[in-house]
């Protein structure tokens, strides 16, 4: 079953609450205006496809760099 | 930082033999590890090397040369000190404090206590400007032999308001402001012997040669700095204004040395620091004071005159009223 | 601007809720906990908690160790230089890393040749970052390798000066620095844009040319994401976890007695951690060990395990001492990943610490802001409406919002915000001590002062009218008392140097990280240790953990050995969001309580008494009912049947549950700061003479350390208000003050006399009832100084930092 909250496993974020991790588990997006995102691969705010790393873009499995969350891979 | 040879010179003559360039030459003409330059404390030289804008082949240390760190005062001859005298030495000298108040104030407000303990007066006069483009490895500016002045078209809030045509960097020595006000002289020693020149001629504006700030040549070392004796009736003061009090480069500093006869000013020397690429005498303002009984009105007139001819850049117009106010305060404090 | 027809993507708010709800307990008990402020109507609150929870801790006055001024556990090691920070770590055979970074704000790499760097004597590994899914391709090291060519399509598009391109590892830092310079790169430069305003104009160079179509990921609750992107503009974000717009703003403005509308600007501030970002990575076949200057050891471990495909058990991250972190030291970082790659390639440990310049340009910053704030007021002072539009740039990153001050601090039925991110060709932003709220206070608190003046009210008293936060009311009262507050007419001083008084207040959410665990170990020799991966980033975490354990076991703080900052121990929280004290100390107390119960059980067996009859206090274990039964802790542990007792506990839910999700607590951490300034109207020089900072962090565990953190927050706020500014050259994109000489931090004479007022406030939230103080301490300072400057000169400054140049310009003397 498709989870409505599924993000690339390499997506990371940080806001006042703490560090956020991608993957199948729900992503703690408390405060979009002050959350910074980055991609583990580039360790910068862009993905390997040179586009922004963000919650609204890194759940897109059509993106060529999208990596299936680990939990899903094991299914 | 590049690799370089390091030698401690045993004497001035040997140091002169071993060197072949000034630091400016090493940055423009003798680049790529070919230059042989001298260092005193190295507070500025090492910064330049670490910033990657100076790559000397040899660094000759003057620290071991005896006799360069002497300071003497004589009622008749005035003050004299060697190039290895530290800023802290000047700051802490009772004679300087007593007779050369503006110089004492300048020493006490330079850099940080730690740097004042290390930095020498020779090095202080020879140090390179702090212009952030000059100090940046990524900006090949005119001072480094390039064709562009990045400050004229860029971030220039801390730059010159006078002599801004070629390179609007400000001279980094705030002590020089006071030394020029006292009509100091400098002794340079080279292969042909010694020469003594007034500090007001030692510093050269960018219009003369944008790549350097003074007249020292490839094999010359400062060996003495002299100030004339102060007469009774001399009133002097120095004020430095930075964004921070603890430690900061000057946004504007003013030294005033006045010869007073009661309330009447007989002679005056006014010098601005951080206003131009050299410590800048303000003769027109001096004229306003000379022969006058000093009043608020006279001071205000002098302040107006002092800023005549200023050509502030896009971001440093604030320095015009700043200098006017600093000059008023310095004169008031000097005679008060 | 945003396409209204496009489907709105709605992001979940605290979706953690869906993963696991509040924990249910088989056996619970009702306990009464202190509630409120001692001396100001302190009462008790009854809570139903798990049967495993330790008994309620009384107020500080009745305790022996907790709440007492306690010397830092590691002070002696820090002041004698024996403390080993990441930058001090030396391992056998260790190499040093250095990055090659982009010298251009926008460029494509035309060619890249690392052969000269590879041949340079002393170089052991070279790595080029490649932009391909699956990560960086490693190449064999070897000095005689032929010139390498790269498919330029694989190399990153360079979008800011300082963007990493490649790195080398060599036998000394000098060799590494030199070798990095030998990497030959040809660039094809492109037009770039750095300024917030220019980046929004039509025809501005675009940072991200094509926009990814947003897709999927639709939650069912929450706020609209900042998903719309046009040109360099992205957003707006219209809400936070506290909700979205409310009421009818336009109607409320129409009904207001007066409306204020102002623009405010704040600058980019860089973190300036004394210890720069960096790691020492040691890749071994059986274990990757990383010494990291990080705020989150467990997070670094998780990042590296994920990226290198290692089990978490084979990655160990250690942070024994940490030289400052303000939000940017989360995750492995580009330096951490690079050091690990280089170590793996070279087969030797690699130290990669950023230089001060790299720190400024590539390790994060507080984004700038341009805020358009409009507020409506009634003549009785009530705020009828707040409308806040903001633009900010986090460079190539996102997250430049201005926080939740306008939304949440004052009661106001009608609220609306639109917070936009603007992409520019500059280094990415990062979380920075109260992200957004520091910027937000600067605008809101100045406007509140303007409204007070319009209403003819003392700004302090006016806040009593509009602020419903009870603890903050007390802070105003006590702070004003300590400050000697007396409202003075703006600009009323004669003479050129004018004195001014101002105040501002702040607010921060109580965040709790439930993934906070600790082990307490009692050894038979009487030694006691507490262990967790939580790190002490300089705030004093080690000391408060020792205090909590000591209080529970009736020992002294120095009797407790604190072993933290190592992922071999149970996971602790990351230290950000001011969560550390509130998250880890209940876990530690509960673990200590469990261990104590275990020990007392064994002692009770030996004495044949009930466990409940036993007490541990002042280094003794004794029976309450039989005074003959008493022995020292050292004697008692000899009754242990095993060599050690170990107990582990994790942070339970807040007593009484959470306000939102599983981690946003009830109650807000308020703060009120007062500033006294001198403004020289002839030179523009501002001196902050005095700050009184009134704060609450729940139960203060160690008042000395709370004061210390408040001092740090105020000092950072002074820097933000008056000095700090990342200055970019608009023609080349370089930060020209990327040092600590021309990037100006407050030094000794810039630091005002700081007086702290700590309100001891009990909320009955946990077994320690502690909260954080790191961020609250920094939030109101710049706002308070700005209000004081206005009070001094009668002219308001709407832009930070308040430099002499800006003061002179505002006064019209330029």
Over residues B224-280, the pLDDT tens digits come to: 999 999 999 999 999 999 999 999 999 999 999 999 999 999 999 999 999 999 999
Looking at the structure, tell me whether residues C612 and C713 fall in a common domain: no
B315 located within any domain: yes
Phi-psi group of B307: left, alpha or beta (phi > 0 → left; psi -120 to 50 → alpha; rest → beta): alpha
Q: What is the mean pLDDT of chain C?
A: 93
The answer to whether C744 contacts B154, with C-beta atoms less than 8 Å apart, is no
Indicate the residue of C136, C208, C217 with minimum beta-carbon distance to A4: C217
Domain boundary among B29, B44, B64: B64
Query: Under a CB-based contact definition with an 8 Å cutoff, are residues C604 and A49 in contact?
Result: no
Q: How many domains does chain C have?
A: 3
Closest CA to C66 of C560, C693, C573: C560
Q: Is the peptide bond before C236 cis (omega within 30 degrees of 0)?
A: yes
Q: Which residue of C has its CA nearest to A9?
A: C306
Q: How much is the pLDDT for B127? A: 98
Domain boundaries, position C474:
457-510+665-811
Of the pLDDT bands very low, low, confident and very high (cuts 50, 70, 90), residue A54 is: confident
B289 located within any domain: yes
Looking at the structure, tell me whether residues C180 and C149 fall in a common domain: yes
C250 located within any domain: no
Of the pLDDT bands very low, low, confident and very high (cuts 50, 70, 90), residue C136 is: very low
Q: How much is the pLDDT for C23? A: 74
C216 touches chain A (CB under 8 A): yes
B274 located within any domain: yes
B209 located within any domain: no
Chain C CB contacts of B136 under 8 Å are 734, 736
Q: How much is the pLDDT for A20? A: 76
B197 located within any domain: no
The answer to whether B244 contacts C103, with C-beta atoms less than 8 Å apart, is no
C333 located within any domain: yes
Name residues whose C-beta falls within 8 Å of residue B40's C-beta, 6 or more positions apart in sequence. B62, B63, B83, B84, B120, B122, B123, B126
Residues B261 and B243: their CA atoms lie apart, in Å, by 36
Q: For testing the chain C interface, which of B318, B328, B330, B333 should be mutated: the one with the most C CBs within 10 Å?
A: B318
The answer to whether A33 contacts C401, with C-beta atoms less than 8 Å apart, is yes
> Which pLDDT tens digit goes with each residue over C584-631?
999 999 999 999 999 999 999 989 999 999 999 999 999 999 999 999
- Between β-strands C497-511 and C664-680, what pairing exists: parallel, antiparallel or unpaired? antiparallel
Looking at the structure, tell me whether residues C315 and C301 fall in a common domain: yes
C398 touches chain A (CB under 8 A): yes
* DSSP 8-state class, residue B249: -
Give A22 to chain C, closest Cα distance, Å: 11
Looking at the structure, tell me whether residues C585 and C506 fall in a common domain: no
Q: CA-based angle B326:B329:B333, to the nearest 5?
A: 140
Helix (H) or strand (E) holding C316: strand C315-318
B43 located within any domain: yes
Of the pLDDT bands very low, low, confident and very high (cuts 50, 70, 90), residue C10 is: very low
C418 located within any domain: no
Q: Which residue has the tokens 């989150």?
A: C296
Q: How much is the pLDDT for C542? A: 98
Tokens of C421: 């991110």
Name residues whose C-beta falls within 8 Å of residue C134's C-beta, 6 or more positions apart in sequence. A41
Domain boundaries, position B282:
234-335
Q: How much is the pLDDT for C149? A: 66
Q: How much is the pLDDT for C151? A: 82
- Across residues C91-101, what is the average pLDDT? 98
Query: Which chains contact C through at least 3 pairs of Cβ atoms less than 8 Å apart?
Result: A, B
- Across residues A21-39, what is the average pLDDT? 73
The pTM (predicted TM-score) of the whole model is: 0.95
What is the three-class DSSP state of B254? strand
Helix (H) or strand (E) holding C592: helix C580-607
> Which pLDDT tens digit goes with each residue over C281-323?
999 999 999 999 999 999 999 999 999 999 999 999 999 999 9
Chain C CB contacts of A24 under 8 Å are none
SS3 content of chain C, % helix, strand, coil (to 5): 25, 30, 45
> Which pLDDT tens digit goes with each residue over C497-511?
999 999 999 999 999
> Which pLDDT tens digit goes with each residue over A3-14?
445 788 899 988
> Which pLDDT tens digit goes with each residue over C361-408?
999 999 999 999 999 999 999 999 999 999 999 999 999 999 999 999
Q: How much is the pLDDT for C222? A: 35
More confident residue, C140 or B46: B46
Worst-scoring range by mean pLDDT, A46-60, C588-602, C787-801? A46-60
Domain assignments of chain A as residue spans, ordered by start: 7-65
Task: Judge B/C contact: 3 or more CB pairs < 8 A.
Answer: yes
Give the CATH number, domain containing residue C530. 3.30.365.10
Looking at the structure, tell me whether residues C147 and C134 fall in a common domain: yes
C423 located within any domain: no
Give the CATH number, domain containing residue B45. 3.30.43
Name residues whose C-beta falls within 8 Å of residue C617's C-beta, 6 or more positions apart in sequence. C64, C554
- Between β-strands C517-523 and C269-270, what pairing exists: parallel, antiparallel or unpaired? unpaired
Residues C363 and C512: their CA atoms lie apart, in Å, by 26
Name residues whose C-beta falls within 8 Å of residue B294's C-beta, 6 or more positions apart in sequence. B260, B263, B264, B265, B331, B335
Q: For testing the chain B interface, which of C683, C719, C732 should be mutated: the one with the most B CBs within 10 Å?
A: C683
Q: How much is the pLDDT for C270? A: 98
Domain boundary among B49, B64, B79: B64
Q: How much is the pLDDT for C814? A: 55
- Between β-strands C123-128 and C233-237, what pairing exists: parallel, antiparallel or unpaired? unpaired
Worst-scoring range by mean pLDDT, A51-65, C474-488, C519-533? A51-65
> Which pLDDT tens digit goes with each residue over C414-461?
999 999 999 999 999 999 999 999 999 999 999 999 999 999 999 999
Residues C235 and C581: their CA atoms lie apart, in Å, by 34
Q: How much is the pLDDT for A55? A: 82
Q: How much is the pLDDT for A69? A: 75
Q: Which residue has the tokens 């991250």?
A: C317
Q: How many domains does chain B have?
A: 2
The b-or-e profile of C670-693 (16+ CB within 10 A means b, else e) is bbbbbbbbbbbbbbbbbbbebbbb
Q: How much is the pLDDT for C787? A: 98
Domain boundary among B21, B42, B64: B64
Residues C112 and C148: their CA atoms lie apart, in Å, by 8
Domain boundary among C302, C326, C353: C353
Of the pLDDT bands very low, low, confident and very high (cuts 50, 70, 90), residue C8 is: very low
Task: Judge A/B contact: 3 or more CB pairs < 8 A.
Answer: no
Q: Is the peptide bond before C801 cis (omega within 30 degrees of 0)?
A: yes
Tokens of C411: 């009661």
C757 located within any domain: yes
The answer to whether A5 contacts C12, with C-beta atoms less than 8 Å apart, is yes
Closest CA to C472 of C12, C37, C26, C1: C37
> Which pLDDT tens digit goes with each residue over C198-240?
999 999 999 998 665 554 444 333 334 445 788 999 999 998 8
Chain B CB contacts of C729 under 8 Å are 133, 139, 150, 154-155
Tens of pLDDT along chain B (336 residues)?
Answer: 888 999 999 999 999 999 999 999 999 999 989 999 999 999 999 999 999 999 999 999 999 999 999 999 999 999 999 999 999 999 999 999 999 999 999 999 999 999 999 999 999 999 999 999 999 999 999 999 999 999 999 999 999 999 999 999 999 999 999 999 999 999 999 999 999 999 999 999 999 999 999 999 999 999 999 999 999 999 999 999 999 999 999 999 999 999 999 999 999 999 999 999 999 999 999 999 999 999 999 999 999 999 999 999 999 999 999 999 999 999 999 998
Helix (H) or strand (E) holding C350: strand C350-353
Looking at the structure, tell me whether residues C476 and C534 fall in a common domain: no
B76 touches chain C (CB under 8 A): no
Looking at the structure, tell me whether residues C186 and C315 fall in a common domain: yes
């Amino acid at each position: 079953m498709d989870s409505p909250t599924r993000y690339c496993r390499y997506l990371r974020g940080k806001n006042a609450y703490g560090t956020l991790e991608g993957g199948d588990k729900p992503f703690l997006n408390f405060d979009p205006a002050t959350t910074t995102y980055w991609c583990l691969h580039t360790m910068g705010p862009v993905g390997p496809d040179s586009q922004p790393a963000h919650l609204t873009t890194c759940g897109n499995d059509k993106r060529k760099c999208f990596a299936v969350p680990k939990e899903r891979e094991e299914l | 930082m590049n690799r370089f040879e390091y030698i401690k010179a045993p004497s001035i003559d040997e140091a002169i033999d071993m060197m072949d360039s000034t630091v400016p030459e090493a940055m423009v003409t003798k680049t790529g590890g070919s230059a042989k330059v001298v260092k005193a404390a190295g507070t500025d030289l090492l910064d330049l090397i670490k910033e990657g804008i100076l790559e000397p082949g040899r660094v000759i240390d003057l620290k071991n040369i005896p006799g360069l760190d002497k300071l003497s005062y004589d009622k008749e001859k005035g003050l004299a000190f060697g190039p290895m005298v530290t800023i802290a030495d000047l700051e802490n000298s009772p004679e300087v404090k007593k007779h050369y108040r503006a110089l004492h104030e300048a020493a006490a407000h330079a850099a940080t206590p730690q740097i004042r303990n290390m930095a020498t007066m020779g090095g202080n006069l020879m140090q390179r400007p702090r212009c952030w483009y000059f100090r940046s490895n990524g900006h090949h500016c005119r001072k480094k032999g390039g064709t562009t002045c990045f400050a004229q078209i860029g971030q220039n809030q801390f730059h010159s308001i006078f002599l801004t045509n070629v390179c609007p960097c400000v001279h980094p020595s705030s002590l020089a402001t006071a030394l020029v006000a006292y009509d100091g002289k400098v002794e340079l020693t080279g292969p042909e012997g010694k020469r003594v020149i007034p500090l007001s001629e030692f510093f050269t504006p960018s219009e003369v040669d944008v790549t350097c700030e003074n007249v020292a040549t490839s094999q010359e070392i400062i060996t003495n700095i002299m100030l004339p004796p102060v007469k009774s009736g001399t009133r002097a003061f120095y004020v430095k204004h930075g964004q921070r009090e603890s430690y900061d480069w000057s946004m504007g500093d003013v030294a005033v040395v006045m010869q007073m006869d009661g309330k009447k000013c007989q002679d005056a020397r006014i010098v601005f620091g951080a206003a131009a690429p050299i410590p800048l005498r303000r003769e027109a303002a001096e004229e306003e004071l000379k022969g006058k009984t000093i009043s608020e009105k006279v001071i205000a007139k002098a302040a107006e005159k002092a800023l005549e001819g200023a050509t502030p850049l896009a971001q440093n117009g604030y320095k015009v009223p700043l200098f006017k106010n600093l000059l008023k305060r310095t004169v008031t404090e000097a005679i008060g | 601007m945003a396409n209204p027809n496009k489907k709105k993507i709605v992001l979940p708010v605290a979706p953690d809720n869906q993963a696991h709800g509040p924990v249910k307990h088989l056996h619970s008990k009702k306990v009464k906990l202190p509630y409120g402020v001692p001396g100001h109507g302190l009462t008790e609150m009854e809570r139903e908690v798990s049967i495993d929870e330790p008994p309620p801790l009384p107020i500080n006055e009745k305790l022996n160790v907790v709440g007492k001024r306690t010397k830092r556990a590691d002070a002696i090691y820090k002041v004698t230089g024996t403390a080993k920070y990441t930058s001090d770590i030396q391992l056998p055979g260790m190499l040093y890393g250095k990055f090659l970074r982009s010298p251009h704000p926008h460029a494509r790499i035309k060619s890249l040749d690392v052969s000269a760097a590879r041949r340079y004597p002393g170089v052991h590994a070279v790595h080029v970052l490649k932009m391909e899914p699956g990560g960086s391709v490693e190449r064999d090291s070897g000095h005689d390798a032929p010139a390498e060519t790269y498919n330029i399509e694989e190399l990153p598009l360079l979008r800011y000066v300082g963007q990493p391109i490649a790195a080398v590892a060599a036998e000394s830092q000098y060799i590494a620095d030199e070798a990095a310079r030998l990497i030959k790169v040809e660039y094809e430069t492109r037009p770039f844009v750095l300024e917030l305003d220019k980046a929004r104009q039509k025809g501005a160079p675009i940072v991200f040319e094509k926009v990814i179509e947003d897709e999927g990921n639709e939650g069912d609750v929450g706020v609209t994401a900042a998903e719309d992107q046009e040109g360099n503009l992205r957003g707006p974000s219209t809400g936070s976890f506290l909700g979205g717009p409310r009421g009818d703003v336009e109607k409320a403005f129409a009904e207001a007695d007066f409306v204020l509308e102002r623009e405010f600007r704040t600058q980019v501030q860089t973190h300036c951690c004394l210890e720069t970002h960096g790691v020492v990575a040691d890749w071994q076949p059986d274990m990757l060990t990383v010494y990291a200057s990080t705020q989150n050891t467990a997070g670094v471990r998780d990042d590296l395990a994920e990226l290198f495909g290692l089990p978490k058990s084979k990655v160990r991250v250690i942070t024994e001492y940490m030289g400052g972190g303000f939000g940017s030291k989360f995750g492995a970082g580009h330096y951490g990943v690079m050091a690990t790659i280089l170590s793996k390639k070279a087969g030797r440990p690699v130290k990669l610490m950023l230089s001060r310049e790299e720190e400024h340009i590539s390790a994060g910053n507080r984004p700038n802001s341009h805020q358009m704030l409009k507020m409506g007021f009634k003549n009785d002072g009530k705020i009828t409406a707040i409308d806040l539009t903001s633009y900010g740039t986090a460079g190539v990153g996102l997250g430049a919002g201005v926080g939740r001050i306008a939304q949440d601090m004052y009661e106001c039925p009608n609220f609306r915000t639109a917070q936009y991110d603007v992409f520019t060709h500059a280094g990415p932003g990062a979380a920075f001590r109260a992200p957004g709220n520091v910027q937000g206070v600067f605008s809101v608190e100045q406007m509140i002062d303007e409204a007070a003046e319009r209403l003819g009210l003392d700004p302090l008293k006016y806040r009593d009218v509009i602020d419903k936060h009870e603890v903050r009311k007390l802070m105003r009262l006590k702070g004003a008392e300590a400050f000697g507050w007396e409202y003075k007419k703006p600009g009323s001083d004669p003479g050129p140097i004018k004195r001014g008084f101002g105040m501002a207040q702040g607010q921060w959410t109580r965040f709790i990280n439930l993934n906070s665990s600790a082990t307490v170990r009692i050894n038979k020799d009487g030694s006691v240790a507490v262990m967790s991966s939580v790190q002490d980033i300089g705030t004093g975490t080690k000391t408060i953990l020792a205090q909590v354990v000591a209080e529970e076991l009736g020992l002294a703080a120095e009797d407790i050995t604190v072993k933290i900052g190592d992922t071999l121990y149970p996971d602790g929280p990351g230290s950000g969001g001011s969560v550390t004290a509130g998250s880890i100390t209940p876990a530690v107390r509960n673990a200590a309580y469990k261990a104590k119960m275990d020990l007392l059980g064994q002692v009770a067996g030996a004495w044949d008494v009930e466990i409940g009859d036993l007490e541990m206090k002042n280094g003794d274990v004794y029976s309450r009912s039989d005074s003959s039964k008493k022995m020292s802790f050292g004697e008692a542990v000899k009754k242990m049947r095993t060599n050690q007792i170990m107990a582990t506990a994790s942070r339970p839910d807040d007593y009484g549950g959470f306000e939102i999700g599983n981690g946003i607590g009830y109650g807000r951490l308020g703060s009120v700061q007062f500033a006294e300034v001198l403004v020289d109207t002839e030179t523009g020089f501002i001196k902050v003479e005095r700050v009184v900072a009134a704060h609450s962090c729940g139960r203060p565990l160690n008042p000395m350390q709370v004061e210390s953190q408040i001092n740090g927050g105020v000092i950072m706020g002074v820097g933000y208000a008056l000095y700090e500014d990342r200055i970019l050259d608009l023609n080349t994109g370089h930060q020209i003050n990327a040092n600590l000489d021309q990037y100006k931090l407050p030094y000794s004479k810039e630091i005002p006399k700081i007086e702290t007022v700590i309100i001891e406030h009990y909320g009955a939230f946990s077994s320690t009832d502690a909260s954080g103080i790191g961020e609250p301490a920094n939030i109101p300072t710049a706002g308070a100084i700005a209000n004081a400057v206005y009070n001094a000169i009668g002219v308001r400054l709407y832009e930070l930092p308040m430099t002499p140049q800006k003061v002179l310009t505002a006064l019209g003397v330029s």
